[in-house]
Each structure stands twice: as structure tokens, then as C-alpha cells.
Structure 1
Amino acid sequence: ITHRDLNAGISVTHAWLNCCSWFLNLLYHLTANDKTWDFGNKADPRYKKLMKAKENVQDIFAAVLGRRIDAADGTGHTGTSLTGNLAKRFFAGECRVLLYKIVKEPHLGHVKKLHLHFDVILRILSSKNHSIDMDKFGNLCTTTYVDVLTHFKWVDLTPTVHKVLAHATELISNNMCMGIGHLSEEGLEACHKIIRRFRVSWTLQTSDQANLKDLLKKLWLRSDPLFYSYRRVVRCPKCGLKGHRRNCPIYDEKLNQSESDIMVEDIFVDLE
């Protein structure tokens, strides 16, 4: 990875997705007691063993997540059920307490530590408007990377996982020591559904060129500040402010903070 690649940045949402997919793959192999990273072909007995382990992992997490993670998308679209919000819930503490049902000693302690560290690293990477202690964050990324290479030598690191663990520190340093959550592609991904709906129902159908021109006109209208001001503003039922509904900062009690919450606040400089 070169400096030119780093300047392109890390896609925040895809960092959550790819790290979650990599971690799930690690759990599948540990459950099947298979220390070969690939799944093999369908005729290979290893493939059946790994698929059975995958179903077991999916069933365990479905009790908390409410759906089978990393399964075929049941909405009729291509891809899997893994989404950005689901990946964030997977790395939360409610799923960490279920790891003992999947992984046995001596790997359980290392897997729990990795799960916690990935949650903290990705939350800091996707943060907004918070100054970050680069020494603490760099040590956390380095420690996590060394733990993977030490305890799971048979694991292959995907380019995204490597970039998060090895180059996130440099990327945040180049961003004035702040997270890159404001560069998230979630808004662009959300436009895909809108574009499909517009092209099918609310644009000219005489030709592809006319369809795309009409689509661009409607997207420009949709982004107009005057039209945008008419949108319904969702406010918190507790404090009346906008921008959040579930986690109200005014009513957030430090006694209910998780281990990852404490680690994140310790790395944020402006929260000390």
C-alpha cells in the first residue's frame, strides 16, 4: 500500500463490513477446528464441515441480532444479509458474551480480545469531530495486529483488515488526528434505493439517455435546500434534540458504559 492509496482513504462502512466478514470467517474455522483459511470446493469434506460450523455460528448470533448474519439476502436483492448497522451490532458487547458458545480454550481469550479491539478501532475510525490520542490509538492497532499474527498464524488478512490495522493511524494523522466518519459512504449507498425507484417509476422511459437526464434533474431537485427543509425532522423523545433517538447523550449514564465505551473515551482527547 502506497501513500497514494492512503490518500484515497478507507471506506468507513465497508471497513465495518469487511472486518465483520473476516471475523466471522475466523469463527467458522475455529468452530470447525480447521486451520486452513479457504473453504475448498463443494466435493471436499472440509467444505461440508465448515458450512455446518457456519450454520452453528449464524444460529447463535441470530438470537441477539434478530436475523441470520452473513446469509443470503432474503429481500430479493443480490448479496448477503450483512449490513453496516448489523456489523456494528455484531462487534457490540451483546455479541461478545456469546463467543464462549462458539470458541473454546485456549483461543477464547484471544478471540474476545480481538473482538473488543476491532470494535474500538472501527468506532474511533468512524468517529466525527473528536481529537484522538495517536499514541494510544497506534499502540492499540499495533497490539491487535501482533495478536493476530501471533495467535492465528494460519489466517489470511484481507486488504481492508490490513489497511485498518496497519495504516489507520497514519490516515487519521493526515486528517488532523480526527476520525473520518464525515467521509462515510453511507449516504451514497442509501441513494442506490432512491435511484432504482426513480428510474423505474418517476423518470422518462423513452430512452436510456432521456431516463438518465430526467433522473439527474430530479436528484438535483431533491438536494435543493428549500425542498430539503421540508423533510420531517426526527427528534429524540427524551431531550427534543435532533441527530439521535436511541442513545441520548443527556440521559447516558456512565455506570452503564461497556468496556469498549471506556476504551473509546480514553483514546478521545477532547473527552478527558
Structure 2
Amino acid sequence: MDPENRDTPGGSNYRVISRKRLYDKMQQQNLPNLEEKLNYLENELLTHGDYSQEQIRELKNKFSYIKSEFKRRWSKGKRQEDKFLKENADWLQGTFQIPKSSHGRVGRPLKPFSELSERSRRRKTEQLRNTVSKEALVHAAKASLQSSGNRDASQVLTELVKSPKRGTKYKKAYATHLQVNATQLTPLRSLSMFVEADLSRKQYEVIRDSNKKYYPCYTILQKEKRKCYPQKESYHNPTPSSPRYCRPIRLRFIKETTDTTNNEIKYIQNQIDALENSVFTREGISASVKHTMAFTMVDGKVCNAATQTASTMKCYICGATPKLFNDLSIKRDVDSDALSFGLSILHARIRLFESILHLSYKLPVKKWQFRSEADKTVVKERKVEIQKVFREETGLIVDVPKANFGNTNDGNTSRRFFAEPQKASKITGVDFNLIYRLKIILEVISSGHKVDLKKFADYCFEAAKIYISLYSWHPITPTMHKILLHGATVMEKALLPIGMLSEEAAEARNKYFRMYRNSFARKFSRVECNLDILNRLLLSSDPLITSLRPTIPKSSKRFSKEAIEMLIPADINTNMDNSDSEELTDKEDNESEPCP
């Protein structure tokens, strides 16, 4: 756009152009709205002259005022051109100043034609295209290519202009050439084709002979196939308690009651019953896989609801009440269906920890239930004393309510408690052998390895006898009763090692639920909020995405000597925990010998 060839009254550094001319120029452009027209106008002004960086900044600053004025007046005129021109006739007669070009090239240097954008190239060649015929342009291009040594390109250009359809043929031929020379198929894609087409090795090799550069050799396919076969150590999930493998089925925003729990169990059971076998056929050989589902990631509340056990103090496996817990001579009939719920390992650790705490509170009065104010005062003072010692010597805050939910007796606190049974016994006053045996039992059931059920049952029964001989006035808690008396039976019923059937993954998912709600969910609607949370849970537990994670090295668990004797696998890390070994030999603070 050429500005009016006159200087401003204030000096010779600027030229002026009328606002009406700016308006006419941008209206000539077939653009959808005023914003794009103004942007086009600004670009035309900036690219018209050879401006320095300082002049470009000045021009942009000046044009921003004109731009805002055009927008304001256009809106005031109801976006109607006739009304706009009528109301702003005087204003359009005014002028707009632009800097003169900087011929000294102080500012940004001109780019060569090859580095210009497509739009700039069209602008610079516009006059040439409008004044010179197509035949003359093609001839000039051919002559230029030939003189520069590109004779093949010159000859191709000659052939292209002979016929209107010649260019289409050349384009298709070039595309075919690129397709033939495409990069080689990846082994995974080749294997996918091999499986989907039900190819034999001979058939694949025949196909590969047509283009060996595109299809990998069959040896590479064999290596890829071996990755799909289960290895000896890969039949079991290496991280069974990982929340990344905990995939939600559905989310219901309702109050948790016994009826709603039973409805959910029925809902899941109906889906399990409707499962069909997976049938695979290859090379005329068929295989059918039966899917067996089990309720294992459940806590005590769900178990009681599923077995119609009204009281939490009652064993949902054998139906025994606290009055019968300490009688080991009773032959107990068990509900075989209740055995499938597992041992709730994460909650079992916490409940055993709490059972030791509550037992220690009542040691001065030696009563399970007490109603006198004197006894209540003694128990309360004992509790405060134990909490104080735990905090001072171990840093643990035990049995203290937390705002909004639960208390401080969580999984980590219970782990710290059983990690040092000697110190725990000293603080609580509960027998060291009992605490140590409970620690070993927890190690075994959470190990993820197969267990020698006979040895485990005998070990648990000995722990029960120690408890009853020392604290017969206090019944064994329901969780301790379930593990010590029914633990081996539950483990015998389980399809996998009981340590792989923990509810820890589902419990660990709770923190992700809170995090996703806080950071990845919309808050304006309860429905949309829960939908976003569920979608994020599904995304983070997607099997394909999870499989792409880097392999996490297995943690080398260190088991105690007694735990190793009850575990079956040969690949157990036989290094004993040093702290446990010291506890086995240190008898200074214990009246009885450690358990064998």
C-alpha cells in the first residue's frame, strides 16, 4: 500500500495516509470479520517499507490506536457500513502517520526469497504474475533451471505443462514411490498382521519376499512372539497391591448401609455369573479359558454385610461370639462361602495393633468391661501415659482422633509398631512373645508367597494359647480370632497366595480420589465432578498405559527366620532382618524365652 507522497507538517520523518483510504483498502479484502481485516491492514503497513526495529515498534503503537477506534466506531454503527460511513465521515477524512522507510538498513535485514513465507512470496510476485503470461513464466523457469545445471528438473517441468492431466500422473507416481520406500514395519505391527491374518510361517515368508525391506524377517517375529508368552515368574502380578491395577467398575454417591453393600455384591456377582469363557483358535487348535472371580479386596464391614452378620464382635466365618473366642477346645463349623473373602491383610495389621493397645490400657484393672468410675479413670490415665511414651520414644502418635475422619492408627503406624516388637512390648506391657508372633504372622500373610499351611496353623494356634494363658480375662478380638484360628483354612481356600489378595490397592486408591477431585474435576456440579473423577480413575488404571510404565525393580523383602520356615518358594531372600535376630538373643527385658 503506497501512502500519500507528502510529509507531515512537523518534519520529514513521517508520511501520512488518509483513514478513508485505510478503510477502503481493508474492505476490499474478502475476510470474514473486522478483526482479520485490521490485522491484514497492519501487516500490509509493516511489510511495505524497510523499517528499523524502532520504527516497527512505533508503527505498531500508532496503529493500535487506529485499530481500537475502528472497532469502537464500527460497533457504535451497529456493524452496518452505510451507518458507519455516515456517522464517521468527518473522522475518515483525517490522516494517519507512518514512518518513512529506513534506507540505511539500520533495522531488520531483508530476507532472501527462499526464506519468505508463502504469503510474502505471493505478494512479491503478484505484479510479475499479473503482467507476464504463464507460458513466459514457465519458459523462464526452464531456462533458469537448465542454466543452473538442474537439467532433470527443467525436463520434468517441460513434460508437466504439455497436458493438463500430466501433473496428476506425476503426483500419483511420486506418492507410490514414497509408499514403496516407506520405513520397515515394526516387529509388533508385523506380529499383529501375522496374528490377525492367521498366517503360517511359510505364508509370511512368501509375503515378505515381495518386499524384504518393508517386512522384518521371521526370526525377529519369533522374538516378539516370545514376549507374549508367560514366563515362569510372570504368572503372578509383580505388584498385586499397586493402585495402578485397581480399576473402578462404577461409582455411586449414596450412603453406605448393609442393604446398599449387599446390592453392590449382588450387582458384581451377576456380572461374574454372566461371564463367558474366552475361546482362542489358531491353526485348527482351540483353547477355552474359564474366568474365576473372587471377592478379596473387602474389609470387615463388607464381610459382615455379605454374611448377614449383625454384630461386628461376632466372627462371620464360624459365628462365634466373644464369650467363645477364648475356648480353643470347641470344634467350629465354618461357612465355606465366607472363606472366599480373604483375610483383609491391611486392616488386619491395624486391628491387631489396636487390640494390643486396648489390651495394654486395661492391664491395671484386668477387666474386659468395666463400669465403675474408678476403673474408667485408671484406664484413661494409662492410655494417656502410653500415648506420651510412644510419642517421646518412637515419634508415633497413637490412638488420637483426626479431624473429619478416623484416627492416627493407620497402616504406617501399625507397621512401625510391629517393626520393633521389643520396644512395643516395653511401652505397652504386653508380652513380647505374643507381639513377636503377631509380627511373624503378619509377615507371612502379606509376603505374597505360598505358605506351608500346617506350620502356619500350628504357629497361629500357639500364639492363641499364649494369649489365653496370659490374658484370659480379655477375649481375643474378632480379627485376631479370624487370623489365628481360621487363617490357614482361608489360605487353603484361596486361589493365589493370600498376600496377593490384599485390599491395600483399593484403600490406596482413596488418596488418588481426593487428589483427582481437588485438581482434575469440575466443581460447579456434583454429577460432573464425580464423572471427572471416575474418568481420571479409568485413565490412570488403563492396562495399556500402565504396561508402558518403566519396569519397577522388585523390592527385596527381608523375612525373619520363623517366617522363612513357613514360606514355600525357593526364591525367598533368606537374609534375616538384623533387628529380629538381635531380638531373638536379647533377653534382658523379657521374662519368657522368645518363640521358637
Task: Please classify the TM superposition score into its range, dividing by the shorter chain length.
Answer: 0.7 to 0.9
Q: Residue in 1 aligned with 2:447?
A: 127
Distance 1:151 1:59 in 2: 25
Residue 37 in 1 paired to residue 368 in 2?
Answer: yes
Counterpart of 2:425 in structure 1: which amino acid? L
Give me the identity figure in percent: 28
Gaps of 5+ in 2: 1-316, 318-334, 575-596
User: Alpha carbons of 1:152 and 1:268: their partners in 2 closer, same or farther (altered >3 Å)?
Assistant: same
Gaps of 5+ in 1: 235-241, 253-259
Residues 182 and 36 (structure 1), Cα distance of their counterparts in 2 relative to 1, 3 Å cut: same
Q: How does 1:13-162 map to 2 (within 5 A)?
A: 13-30=346-363, 33-38=364-369, 40=371, 44-73=373-402, 76-92=403-419, 94-103=420-429, 111-128=431-448, 130-162=449-481
Q: CA deviation at 1:196?
A: 2.0
1:231, distance to aligned residue in structure 2 (A): 6.0
Q: Select the structure that is richer in helix.
A: 1
Counterpart for residue 511 of structure 2: 193
Distance 1:198 1:101 in 2: 40
Aligned match of 2:554: 243
Deviations 1:29-68 (A, max 9, x none): 12xx111124658xx2222211211122222333453222
CA distance in 1, matches of 2:442, 2:509: 24
Distance 2:393 2:451 in 1: 31
Separation in 1, partners of 2:517, 2:453: 46
The equivalent of 1:173 in structure 2 is 492
AA matched with 1:35: K
Question: Residues of 2 paired with 1:119 and 1:169: CA distance?
Answer: 16
Preserved CA contact (<8 Å) 2:342 2:491: no
Q: Deviations over 1:177-216 (max 9, x none)?
A: x641212122211221221232244223343222222221
C-alpha contact (below 8 Å) 1:89/1:95 kept by paired residues: no
Q: CA deviation at 1:23?
A: 0.9
Distance 2:567 2:457 in 1: 13
Distance 1:191 1:113, change over 3 A: same
Single out whichever of 207-216 and 140-149 deviates more from structure 2: 207-216
Taking the aligned partners of 2:518 and 2:538, their CA distance within structure 1 comes to: 18
Deviation at 1:137, TM superposition (A): 0.8
State the alpha-carbon separation in 2 of the partners of residues 226 and 184 from structure 1: 23
User: In the alignment, is the contact (CA less than 8 A) between 1:124 and 1:179 conserved in 2?
Assistant: no
Which gives a bigger RCO, structure 1 or 2 (Cα 8 Å, sep 6+)? 1
Contact 1:61 1:95 in 2 (8 A): no
Corresponding residue number in structure 2 for 1:256? none
- Hey, what's the Cα distance between the residues in 1 that align with 2:491 and 2:534? 34
Whole-Å Cα distance in 2 between the matches of residues 29 and 185 of structure 1?
A: 31
Decide whether the 8 Å contact of 2:401 with 2:408 is kept in 1: yes
Larger Rg, first or second structure (1 or 2): 2
What letter corresponds to residue 46 of structure 1 in structure 2?
D
- Cα distance, 1:85 vs structure 2: 2.1
Q: Give, in whole Å, the separation in 2 of the partners of 1:132 and 1:166.
A: 16
Question: Do the aligned residues in 2 keep the contact of 1:64 with 1:95 (CA within 8 Å)?
Answer: no
Q: Which residue of 1 aligns with 2:566?
A: 267
| TM-score, with structure 1 as normaliser | 0.77
SS of match in other structure, 2:362: helix
- Report the aligned-residue RMSD: 2.6
| AA at the equivalent of 1:4 | D
Pairwise CA distance, 1:7: 1.3
Tell me by how many angstroms 1:98 deviates: 4.9
Contact 2:396 2:413 survives alignment (8 Å): no
**Partner Cα separation in structure 2 for residue 172 and residue 191 of structure 1:** 25
Q: Distance in 2 between matches of 1:200 and 1:101?
A: 40
Instruction: Give the number of equivalent residue pairs.
Output: 238
- Say if 2:450 and 2:569, in contact at 8 Å, map to a contact too: yes
Secondary structure of residue in 2 paired with 1:88: helix
CA distance in 2, matches of 1:233, 1:53: 49
TM-score of the pair, normalised by structure 2: 0.37
Counterparts of 1:5-20 in structure 2, within 5 Å, are: 5-20=338-353
Checking the alignment, whether the CA contact within 8 Å between 2:398 and 2:408 is kept in structure 1 is yes
| Mapped contact 2:418–2:424 kept (Cα < 8 A) | no
CA shift in 2, pair 1:270/1:63, >3 Å: farther
Distance 2:444 2:396 in 1: 27
- SS in structure 1 at match of 2:569: helix
